[in-house]
Amino acid sequence: MRITCPYCGERDRREFYYRGAAVDLDRPAPDAGPDAWDDFVYLRDNPAGETRDLWYHEGGCGAWIVVTRNTLTHEVSATEPASGGKR
């Protein structure tokens, strides 16, 4: 598997650490209530199709990356910095 780091270009999967769904970026407000927090921390979709997840270019530039890929075809359709380019 190969992933395109938005900074370094296409790299072998071994340079990356996998975290999980990109939902982790949408941190609720402290007072959002138990359901919102339960969703955020524990509940994840398991889509047959497109998914967005977080990878860390640990063996590379250290960027956190949002990877959009398809769990059926394994196609990676987009990668973007988790910072939204603000770093």
Q: Which residues sit at the interface with another protein, rule CB under 8 A?
A: 1-3, 7-15, 17, 19, 24-25, 27-28, 30, 34, 37, 40-42, 54, 56-64, 73-76, 81-84, 86-87
Please say which residue, 26 or 47, places its beta carbon nearer to another protein: 26
Which has the closest alpha carbon to 65: 75, 56, 77?
Answer: 56
Which has the closest alpha carbon to 3: 85, 82, 79?
Answer: 79
| Minimum CB–partner distance for residue 10 and another protein (Å) | 8
Contact between 44 and 20 (Cβ < 8 Å): yes
Residue 22: HSE in the Cβ half-sphere, 13 Å Cα cutoff? 18
Please say which residue, 34 or 45, places its beta carbon nearer to another protein: 34
**Measured between alpha carbons, how far apart are the two ends of the chain, in Å?**
26
| Minimum CB–partner distance for residue 48 and another protein (Å) | 13
| Minimum CB–partner distance for residue 37 and another protein (Å) | 5
